[in-house]
Structure 1
Amino acid sequence: MRFGMVIGPLAAGVVGYGIGREQGAHLWGGVAVGVGTAVTTVAVPFLLRRAWAHGVVRRATAAEVAALPIKDREELRLQRAQARLQAFSNMGVLLGVMFTAGGLVYTARTLETAQQTQITDRYTKAVEQLGNRESRDARIGAIYALHRLAEDSDRDFVAISQVLSAYVREHIREGARPRSEGSLPNPSADVTAAFWVLGRIGSSEPRPYRGKFVQLYGLDAHNLNMPSLFGSWYGVSGVVLSNADLHGSNLTGAGLDGAVLGGANLRGATLSQAFLRRAGMRKADLRGADLAGAEIDDADLRGADLRGIKGMTPDQIRRTTKTDTTTRF
């Protein structure tokens, strides 16, 4: 009996801990659920016994039983025996349920471990393939494999965003070639694929975090043709492009709402039809940039250099953006 009094609450506590963790609680949250379950398992029978002992559920005394007719005493004995059997049966059912639940939790944990191992293997292989300098096709395959992995594993999309951001920063000028004589060079196919994936996973993140893990600070992308790259980033917000060198680049229709462009060099860049709402562009160099048709509502242009700007008048810019005495026109 004492063994049952120990093993019952212990099993309940283990099951409670597992259920708490499965519902997303952290380690101590799971412990709290487990302890609460164990205490409840001990407290309920204890309170029932106390209630029985104090007459809330009163048993007949020996004198009262002796005063009963033989037939009634026999019925009472049978009822007590049935009650004991029912109690043991209920205890068996309870323990069975708890152990079954424990088995399910264990199975779920085992499955989760196997899935995480598989995800780790996929991530490792994709990163190794991304470093293959012999085959561009292999690198493109690795980039799309990382995209699929980011969709399958919420806990890995941050790391994948940062890996692909680093890849773009390091390789954006490698293999860039113009499509026609006299035109700006286009980034290579693998860099284009990385841009596309960053836009996809950036727009699928939970809204408060959307895009902020796309870290392209210091990007050297001057004099490149990139409307198809940033143009695919609609719905992405908070991309970090601080101190990036984008002077002379074609960024027509770029989706850069909420982008961090502080200190960026955008001199002579084409930003017509670009989306720059709420963009942080403090101390950015926009001399001679083309802003025709761009949406710049609430952009922060304090300290920015807008001398020779095209497509908008200084009054239009002042009415829709944040400027101050350090903003130059």
Structure 2
Amino acid sequence: MLPGLAALVALVFTWLSVGQTNKDLQISEQGQITNRFNAAITNLGSASLDVRLGGVYALQRIMQDSPRDQPTVVSVLSAFVRQHASVPVSGFRPAGEYRPATDVAAVVSVLGDRPAGREVSQDGKPLYRVDLSGADLGGLEREVGLTEGGVPRRVNFRFADFTGADLRDAGLENFDLSGASLDHANMAGVKLPNADLRRAFLGGANLTDALLGAADLTGADLDGANLHNAHLSRAEEASETSAADSSADLTGAHLIGADLSAADLRGVLLIGADLTGADLAGADLRGANLTGADLSNADLTGAKLAGAELSGAILRGARGVPPGSSGGSP
């Protein structure tokens, strides 16, 4: 019995020793991360661009190594952008050539490349969000890399807050902006092909001349948005009887009072969309699917509707509707 008891005691001692060793390692690791974090924050405040960039990429490494610290790192980097690239108090700057500073662009890149899946709860709600509200990011060009399968990688800005931001002429191709807040953002000339804007909030946003070909705007809220001369079709030319390839999806989108005059909407899916009072004068809707859409009091004067599907659409009070157009209400 004594040898067995001795072996049992030795086993318990070993287990306790291993547990203590693991605990000591965890404490040491957390201490190292804390030291790295403090050093990175210090670098962010440096007058040297090279040192600031070092701080940015040091925080990126911490975010990769320590999931529990990702919300803190995202908060710090978001604040850096808001502080160093904010829309002037007097309002949006005059249009012209502009590019964000190198360190600001680097921060945006790091935020977009952060590990996905850590910021959403089991019920799909955001645990935290990137806050770039009021940021001046006009002219931003974000290079999108490829996955191992050779397809463009999604840039992760799900649920991000871009309220009141300046995104004019920014290149945001393949951005994941699902659930993002872009209310009253200035997005004139923005390039958003293949972007994911499902359930995004774009109320009052300026999307004049925006490129939205193949963007997914399912359930997006665009109440009062200005989409004058916006392009939502990627086709070079569309047949009058067939839908354009790879056009945007605005199924169920809220476009109440939106300015879509002269917009390129060839082949766009507007099934069940609310276009009450929308300005569609001169818009190109050839091949568009407006099944069940609400076009009450909308202005369709001069709009091209050849091949458009209007079955079940509400046309009460709509102006410029060609005679014989089918709909749920004349």
What is the aligned residue count?
Answer: 234
Instruction: For 1:173-192, list aligned pairs within 5 A.
Output: 184-192=97-105
Larger displacement relative to structure 2 (248-257 or 225-234):
225-234
TM-score (norm 2): 0.60
**Aligned residue number for residue 286 of structure 1:** 206
- Determine which of 196, 199, 208 is the counterpart of 2:109: 196
**Aligned residue number for residue 112 of structure 1:** 26
Secondary structure of the 2:188 match is coil
Paired letter, 2:106: A
Alpha-carbon separation, structure 1, partners of 2:203 and 2:36: 42
The change in CA–CA distance for 1:117 and 1:257 in structure 2 (over 3 A counts) is same
Alpha-carbon separation, structure 1, partners of 2:167 and 2:209: 9
Instruction: For 1:296-307, list aligned pairs within 5 A.
Output: 296-307=216-227
Q: 1:263·1:282 contact (CA, 8 Å) conserved in 2? A: yes
**Aligned residue number for residue 172 of structure 1:** 85
Paired letter, 2:48: S
- Determine which of 44, 47, 50 is the counterpart of 1:137: 50
The offset of 1:281, in angstroms, is 1.9
Residues 49-82 of structure 1: CA deviation (Å, up to 9, x unaligned): xxxxxxxxxxxxxxxxxxxxxxxxxxxxxxxxxx
Structure 1 residue 319 and structure 2 residue 232: aligned?
A: no
RMSD: 3.4
The offset of 1:157, in angstroms, is 1.3
**Aligned residue number for residue 4 of structure 2:** 90
**Aligned residue number for residue 59 of structure 1:** none
Residues 100-155 of structure 1: CA deviation (Å, up to 9, x unaligned): 100110111111111111110110111011111x2111100100111111111121
The offset of 1:164, in angstroms, is 0.6
Secondary structure of the 1:301 match is coil
Alpha-carbon separation, structure 1, partners of 2:65 and 2:163: 33
Paired letter, 1:228: R
Paired letter, 2:165: D
Structure 1 residue 216 and structure 2 residue 136: aligned?
A: no
Structure 1 residue 147 and structure 2 residue 60: aligned?
A: yes
Structure 1 residue 257 and structure 2 residue 174: aligned?
A: no
Q: 1:173·1:187 contact (CA, 8 Å) conserved in 2? A: no
Secondary structure of the 2:206 match is coil
The offset of 1:321, in angstroms, is 8.1
Alpha-carbon separation, structure 2, partners of 1:247 and 1:146: 25
Q: Structure 2: where are the runs of 5+ without partners?
A: 88-94, 146-151, 233-263, 281-330
Structure 1 residue 157 and structure 2 residue 77: aligned?
A: no
Paired letter, 1:291: L
Q: 1:297·1:321 contact (CA, 8 Å) conserved in 2? A: no
Q: 2:163·2:185 contact (CA, 8 Å) conserved in 1? A: yes
The offset of 1:216, in angstroms, is 2.6
Alpha-carbon separation, structure 1, partners of 2:62 and 2:171: 29
The offset of 1:156, in angstroms, is 0.9
Alpha-carbon separation, structure 2, partners of 1:321 and 1:233: 30
The change in CA–CA distance for 1:318 and 1:324 in structure 2 (over 3 A counts) is farther
Q: 4+ residue stretches of structure 1 with deviation over 6 A? A: 209-212, 229-233
The change in CA–CA distance for 1:110 and 1:123 in structure 2 (over 3 A counts) is same
The change in CA–CA distance for 1:244 and 1:166 in structure 2 (over 3 A counts) is same
**Aligned residue number for residue 39 of structure 2:** 125
Residues 169-195 of structure 1: CA deviation (Å, up to 9, x unaligned): 111269xxxxxxx96211111111111
The change in CA–CA distance for 1:194 and 1:288 in structure 2 (over 3 A counts) is same
The offset of 1:165, in angstroms, is 0.9
Alpha-carbon separation, structure 2, partners of 1:325 and 1:202: 40
Alpha-carbon separation, structure 2, partners of 1:121 and 1:164: 17
Larger displacement relative to structure 2 (242-251 or 143-152):
242-251
Q: 1:186·1:226 contact (CA, 8 Å) conserved in 2? A: yes
Alpha-carbon separation, structure 1, partners of 2:197 and 2:143: 18
**Aligned residue number for residue 23 of structure 1:** none
Structure 1 residue 228 and structure 2 residue 142: aligned?
A: yes
Alpha-carbon separation, structure 2, partners of 1:306 and 1:150: 37
Paired letter, 2:39: K
Residues 257-310 of structure 1: CA deviation (Å, up to 9, x unaligned): 314124232352323425033141242323524234141241412524245242
Q: How high is the sequence identity, in percent, across the aligned residues?
A: 19
**Aligned residue number for residue 188 of structure 2:** 268
The change in CA–CA distance for 1:162 and 1:314 in structure 2 (over 3 A counts) is same
The offset of 1:95, in angstroms, is 1.7
The change in CA–CA distance for 1:265 and 1:207 in structure 2 (over 3 A counts) is closer
The offset of 1:319, in angstroms, is 1.7
Paired letter, 1:185: Y
Q: 2:141·2:171 contact (CA, 8 Å) conserved in 1? A: yes
